[in-house]
Structure 1
Amino acid sequence: MQPNQEFSRPDVFHPIGLQNPQHQAYRILQVGFVLLPIITGVDKFFHFLVNWDKYLAPVVNRMVGGHGHGFMLVAGVVEIAAGIGVALKPTIFAYVVAAWLLGIIINLLLIPGFYDVALRDFGLFLGALALARLSAAYSVHTANK
């Protein structure tokens, strides 16, 4: 190596393009966090995947006056909106999804036997945070500024 040869540094902005691994990671996360909230949100109404009501902690059900199913339907609408938001404005809505997942994790920790699901959702929470950070560099809205 020559004395003046530079190393590639992580703080150097890389051009946006399909050949760029960082941009690929951003797009993979974005597609995932558009589809997953929309799919789970829609399924709150149809229960094709699972009966989502079983994931609501009894204490939360009591807090909403025993209207757990109605609460889950509202949650479905929020999830659909969050997924659409990630498609349109990931710099903001990736943080919304992360906050939503944090609420889900807290709820799941209140139910014995669902700690494994809470741990999985913690992984999704970290992915949503990674998307939020990557969107600062790769979001179409950010790149056009």
Structure 2
Amino acid sequence: MTTDTTAAERTSTGVGADRAFLLLRTVFTIAPIAFGLDKFAEWLTDWEQYLAPWVNDILPGSAHQAMLTVGVIEVVAGIAVAVVPRYGALLVAGWLAGIIVNLVTMGEYYDVALRDFGLLVGALALAALAFDRAKPAA
């Protein structure tokens, strides 16, 4: 006895997965690039307020210089999601984990840390979908 699904079931599921992949890939390309560029423009917020003092103490330079470096890394991560989503999504997930640790150790911004945890799960979902697309058809 076989457990293969019918062609209609595979198509229906595949369309939903394709749409989810496209939505996640789009948001995890645009958001890191937008946030990265805003580290230079500072239209959205004063990003330095989110840098834990202990992180600032171990990094060379000022908090402002650290945020500019963060901006470059975020732009690169967004581009990586666009070009190689299975690895770019893992890069974004790792980056979000670092942001969460930074925020939680500050003892502030738990709401932002929780939001970033949700984003981290979304990035992992994108990676899972991207790795599925890399598998040869059976």
Per the normalisation by structure 1, the TM-score is 0.83
Equivalence for 1:58: 53
Q: Percent identity?
A: 43
Does residue 127 (structure 1) correspond to residue 137 (structure 2)? The answer is no
From 10, 27, 38, the equivalent of 1:43 is 38
Q: How many residues align?
A: 135
CA offsets 1:28-84 (integer angstroms, 9 cap, x no match):
000000000000000000101111111000111111246111111001000000100
Does residue 82 (structure 1) correspond to residue 77 (structure 2)? The answer is yes
Report matched runs for 1:1-145 at 5 Å: 8=5, 14=10, 20-65=15-60, 67-138=62-133, 142=134
Structure 1: stretches of 5+ with no match in the other structure: none
- CA-CA distance at 1:112 after TM superposition: 2.2
Structure 1 residues 65 and 137: CA distance shift in structure 2, 3 A: closer
Specify the code of the residue in structure 2 equivalent to 1:128.
A
Hey, which of these two has a bigger chunk of helix by percent?
A: 2
CA positional deviation for 1:137: 2.1
CA displacement 1:4-39 (0-9 Å, x = unmatched): 8x6849xxx9459xx801110011000000000000
Give the partner amino acid of 2:101: I
Structure 2, unaligned stretches of length 5 or more?
none
Distance 1:8 1:108 in 2: 45
Letter of the 2:91 partner, please give it.
Answer: V
TM-score scaled by structure 2? 0.87
Q: How far apart, CA to CA, are the structure 1 residues paired with 2:97 and 2:53?
A: 18
Q: Which letter maps to 2:55?
A: V
